[in-house]
Amino acid sequence: MGYEINISKDKLILVSSSANVFYPLRLLRRHLLLNLGGGRVGLNSPIFVKNHRSLTSHISHLKSNSYFAPMQFKDIVGQAAIKQRLMNSVNENRVSHAQLFLGPEGSGSLALAVAYAQYLSCEDKQPEDSCGVCSSCRKYQKLMHPDLHFSYPFFAKHKDDTSLTFIEQWREAFIAHPYLSLDIWRDYLDAENKQANINIAECHQIIKKLSLKPFESTYKVLILWLPEYLDKEGNALLKIIEEPQPNTLFLLVAQNQDQILNTILSRTQLIKIPSLGYNEVKDHLVEKYNQTEDAAAQIAYLSNGNLTDALIMLQQDTKGYHKLFVDWLRLCFGNKGLEILPFVDQLAKMGRENQKNFLRYGVSFIRECCLLMAGAGNLVHLPAQELETAQKMTNVMNIPQAQAISAELEKTHYHVERNANPKILFLDVSLQIIKILKFKTIPQGTQYIPN
């Protein structure tokens, strides 16, 4: 749901992209009651509600040429043991026909599946990798090999839509973002807020594709990204998983084991892919993206082993977060209502991804403050200047307050992700932080969104 609220001299305009305006209206009412409109708007101010379908926010994604597109094992960060295991299975001729690559977002599981398929199909396999130059490899690098098929969640406009309908967007998205996430993919599909899934038409398409003989390679490969989105239609695929055509390989690439149909889970060979380590992310940012040690360390720390997140953060100015965050806490501690409003405007204009990273920075910073307060300073990762501020913060805040602030920041992150109005959100969280820091009131339960 997207909506926007403009506070002008004496009226409020609420522009909502969906029919449901009750949620933003409820928030609005709450702010009017708290009367933080700088005295310009009050309980009797008129509220104009407009519907506007085209108001959605977009992730600003990177252009193709700024991404490194790994199709070979050597281009994929870390995961040495998995790569070796996959190559061994090919060289020892024991490729299981249905495999489930299970790894968290940003671990490289999709890229690994593609590199594995490329290796399997390569006409001149090297001990460490596919050759990268044979006719098969060259077709793989463009994702245009006739024996390579993809299936993925999409937002069907017609009931007959299948993955093939979106294959151009898919190639573009994966080549630009081998560490693709559903969020980034959604952006390529211009999907607004529709529900992604893999429909029954697509399941029939998969069965059809897998029943054909390979054209050029020994193997025909189908990579199904995010089988979590199969719903029960996925049961149509059981027969083909159980009794495959000879020389077909079915690779499922998933993030959440709990959300996969058990019937599918029990029929596939599981390959668990761990998230990347702090140093793997950091070194990659230094080597491939020319980041300084400090900048790379900060992003690696915030990304928590998720390279997809790390690469998005790279595009944003994470260096300014510390000052911004501390300034915000100072304003809240001083209960400076009039100064907070322009500050909130500034935060609201940052854009969704930037806001999420800023909030994530806040949560990490508060966590470091907690470590200091708990006497575990030796575990703190902060650069010198930030450490100094964190030490000062511990004089004005105790652990329950820090935890309460952290919880508020996490809630805000959740709502930013779901397209809530940033002005209202940041104003609301500012009020909560004022209450916590200045008036030492710890919020109880879920009063954040009033009913």
Residues in contact with Zn ion by CB under 5 A are 122, 130-131, 134, 137
Shortest distance (Å) from residue 136 CB to Zn ion = 5
Of 351, 325, 357, the closest CA to residue 433 belongs to 325
User: How many angstroms separate the CA atoms of 399 and 442, rounded?
Assistant: 11
In eight-state DSSP terms, residue 226 is: -
Of 122, 15, 144, the closest CA to residue 72 belongs to 122
Shortest distance (Å) from residue 240 CB to Zn ion = 28
Closer Cβ to Zn ion, 126 or 403, answer by number = 126
Residue 266 CA neighbour count, 13 Å, CB half? 6
Shortest distance (Å) from residue 108 CB to Zn ion = 20
User: How many angstroms separate the CA atoms of 2 and 53, rounded?
Assistant: 9
| Alpha-carbon distance values, 399 to 50, 324, 365 (Å) | 43, 22, 13
Closer Cβ to Zn ion, 131 or 236, answer by number = 131
The residues with which 164 forms a beta bridge, in sequence order, are none
The length of the chain in residues reads 451
Shortest distance (Å) from residue 130 CB to Zn ion = 5
Intra-chain end-to-end CA distance of the chain, in Å: 18
Closer Cβ to Zn ion, 134 or 191, answer by number = 134
In eight-state DSSP terms, residue 255 is: S
Closer Cβ to Zn ion, 89 or 130, answer by number = 130
Closer Cβ to Zn ion, 124 or 190, answer by number = 124
Closer Cβ to Zn ion, 136 or 412, answer by number = 136
Is the dihedral angle over the CA atoms 184, 189, 193, 194 positive or is it negative?
Answer: negative
Closer Cβ to Zn ion, 120 or 260, answer by number = 120
- List Cβ neighbours of 61 (8 Å cut-off, separation of 6 or more): 176, 177, 184, 187, 188, 312
Shortest distance (Å) from residue 3 CB to Zn ion = 51
Shortest distance (Å) from residue 120 CB to Zn ion = 10
Shortest distance (Å) from residue 124 CB to Zn ion = 5
Closer Cβ to Zn ion, 56 or 126, answer by number = 126
| Alpha-carbon distance values, 262 to 199, 232, 251, 255 (Å) | 18, 10, 16, 15
Shortest distance (Å) from residue 118 CB to Zn ion = 7
